[in-house]
Amino acid sequence: MKTLDTYINQVKDKLKLKSYKETMEYLGMHRQAWTAIQNGAGVTEKNAIRIAEILKIDPIEIMSVSLALKAKNRESRNLWLKHAKDVEKQRLENNED
């Protein structure tokens, strides 16, 4: 399952930031946000948009993963994860063109 820390790592690498603390600060997120993300919490819409803008991807991809992590049942989680995978697949296919 794709997680939000994958996106955070991509931001950190893309911007050549030294630490997750520095990455969280750059994104305007509280320091505790990294721990929450590692523990499976989602992100706010605002933070999904910030991350997506840096990575130049659709924020819906990030929000789909976030909503999957917050889902109250397996069916909802699986539907959000499928949506996230579909959006990611479409993005990757478009980048190949």
Token pair in block for residue 50: 């910030």
Confidence at residue 8, expressed as pLDDT on a 0 to 100 scale = 92
Confidence at residue 77, expressed as pLDDT on a 0 to 100 scale = 92
First to last CA, the chain: 26
Confidence at residue 95, expressed as pLDDT on a 0 to 100 scale = 83
| Length in residues, the chain | 97
Domain positions in the chain are: 4-96
Residues of the chain scoring pLDDT < 50 = none
Question: What pTM value is reported for the model?
Answer: 0.85
SS3 61: helix
Confidence at residue 97, expressed as pLDDT on a 0 to 100 scale = 64
